[in-house]
Structure 1
Amino acid sequence: MKTQTNQLISPYGGKLVDLLAPAEELPDLKAQASELPTVRISERSVCDLELLATGAFSPLETFMGEEDYRRVLAEMRLKDGHLFPIPITLPVDPVPHIGLDQKITLCNAKNELLAVMTIDEIYEWDLGEAAECVFKSQDVRHPLVAEMHRWGKLCISGRLQILQLPKHYDFQDIRLTAEQTRRRLEELDCNNVVAFQTRNPLHRVHEELIKRATEESDGTLLLHPVVGMTKPGDVDHYTRVRTYRALAAHYHDPKRVLLALLPLAMRMAGPREAVWHALIRRNFGANHLIVGRDHASPGVDSTGKPFYGPYDAQELMEQSSEELGVTLVPFREFVYLPDEDRYEEVSKVKAGTQTASLSGTQVREQYLNAGKRIPEWFTRPEVADILSETHPPRHR
């Protein structure tokens, strides 16, 4: 009989938050919820609620009150001192049933009742202050800054009792909570877990990087794509997840990879977001996180200047790594060597060596839009097939 000797890193703060109402209380709570004033929350807040409920944001237990919010803006910390770089708030418009000690029901766009909140804080927030602190810009070319102009002018906080998690009808077998992910990783007998955050299809260069990172750490890969809200214009999650499944099934050791989906609403906050991603992945059991160039970048501002430097996210993550207990694995730049049919780090390629690479724009314009097959040196045939199905050529 095999003895379990390995132990995953503990959740941030020591334990996973669990806000799901006990089963024996649900009938009465649902009956009560149906009689309460209802607040319909945004898609972003629904994503946040799901991750709050299941411990992904541990040690945070509810939408932030004012003291937590102010300290997160100024210091990237909760009021109790825990590192937390992104404000998780519930903005609402002022309406008569929003009041202190008032119980309300939170529902989604389909009017499904998700949670009961007992309001114990109501406070105003300032868009300019939040944008400057979190995104270092008030430029509406930043998708979150633009979105914030549509948010309610008040934030509310209070105890949450979760009636049900948002319903998802696709990929249910790999939509794993933090607790479920930890159980799966424990079954794989992991010593180190390397998390890879992605919102894009994976090509051969990504595959090479994550394989080397897991081998160097003697770890297991947590392939953890975001399937909540990403950057406008990104490939849809249904297409992306199909490519991830194909790669995990055909090109990874099943004993050293776990594919799990994360319903996260990204903020595209660059450096702060990288630290947030590390905190979240610790709650899922990872003690390493791959962070690439321009991690969680929204692109360029209205003057054409990048919102963040290419390595700002890696630098802030490195500064926070020891406190978080999550080691930074920098995304190194690789190129393909046609004469040797392999990928290698740019820093190790001798001058004059023939290399090949493709940009995302080239893939779209020269291959997908033109109806040409993406070369196998760049992407696996299974991935190329899925992308071709989803992006038929313009002349078809």
Structure 2
Amino acid sequence: MNAPHGGILKDLVARDAPIHDQLKAEAETLPDITLTERQLCDLELILNGGFSPLEGFMNEADYKSIVDTLRLADGALFAMPINLDVSQEDIAAKNIAPGARLALRDPRDDEALAIITVDDVYQPDRVKEAVQVFGADDPAHPAVAYLRNTVQDYYVGGKVQAIQLPTHFDYVDLRCT
């Protein structure tokens, strides 16, 4: 069997019942972010180890390193930034700042899936991101159009503590993670 990318599989799901219950209770007391569908997919891959060696959404150092070199700040190959984008309004309303803890919620059923501890909040260079990651700043490119038109102005980086994976009702027999 091949080793996971980065050498260690980062399965972040809280499988110990007391820890799970503690995180779930804490999430109910925290400000929250309701994820977009894309952020939900990214979070699921972070939690189940699909994005190993990531343990959360990328901080600014990892983001800049990936945009410049397609590697994490520690040198591990990782070709795509995995970001939690938020609006300036959310930053102000939810007091999003380094050290803050926020519950991350499923947009489909409002379940708390994880808690992020914020490392940093930063404004990305989206033109540079488009050129370096997608090869062009061409609005006809679907990923560039998404980056330009849908992604919010700020990124929040930080490690996550998983409460549970998202619940799926489609293709359940094909989901092996």
Query: TM-score higher than 0.5 here?
Result: yes
CA offsets 1:35-93 (integer angstroms, 9 cap, x no match): 11111111111101101111111112111111111111111111111111111111111
Distance 2:112 2:103 in 1: 7
TM-score normalized by the length of structure 2: 0.91
Residues 75-133 of structure 1: CA distance to partner in whole angstroms, max 9, x if unpaired?
11111111111111111112222122111111122222111111121111022111111
Cα distance in 2 for residues equivalent to 1:153 and 1:82 = 27
Q: 2-side partners of 1:175 and 1:68: how far apart? A: 29
Count, aligned residues: 170
5+ residue gaps, structure 1, are 1-7, 178-396
State the AA in 2 paired with 1:165: L
TM-score normalised by structure 1 residue count: 0.42
Question: How far apart, CA to CA, are the structure 1 residues paired with 2:145 and 2:83?
Answer: 17
Q: Residue 171 of structure 1 corresponds to which residue in structure 2?
A: 171
Partner of 1:18: 11
Superposed counterparts of 1:61-72, under 5 Å: 61-72=55-66
How far 1:15 sits from its partner (Å)?
Answer: 1.6
Equivalent residues of 2:33, 2:104 under 8 A apart: yes
The aligned counterpart of 2:132 is 133
Report the residue type matching 2:146 in the other structure. Answer: E
Write the distance in 2 (CA, Å) between the matches of 1:46 and 1:142.
22
**Larger relative contact order (C-alpha < 8 A, sep ≥ 6)?**
2
Largest Rg, 1 or 2: 1
Cα distance in 2 for residues equivalent to 1:67 and 1:116: 21
- Provide the residue aligned with 2:156 in structure 1: 156
Instruction: Write the letter of the residue equivalent to 1:10.
Output: A
Matched, 1:121 2:114: no
SS class of match (1:140): coil
**Could you tell me which residue of structure 2 aligns to residue 234 of structure 1?**
none
Distance 2:55 2:122 in 1: 18
Distance in 2, Cα, partners of 1:31 & 1:57: 27
User: What pairs up with 1:181-330 in 2 under 5 angstroms?
Assistant: none
Which residue in the other structure is 2:31 paired with? 37
Letter matched to residue 53 of structure 1: L
Q: Which runs of no fewer than 5 residues in structure 2 stay unpaired?
A: none
Contact 2:116 2:160 in 1 (8 A): yes
Q: Are 2:56 and 2:116, in contact at CA under 8 Å, matched by a contact in 1?
A: no
- 1:181 match: none
SS in 1 for 2:18: helix
- Correspondence for 1:145: 144
SS for the counterpart of 2:122 is strand
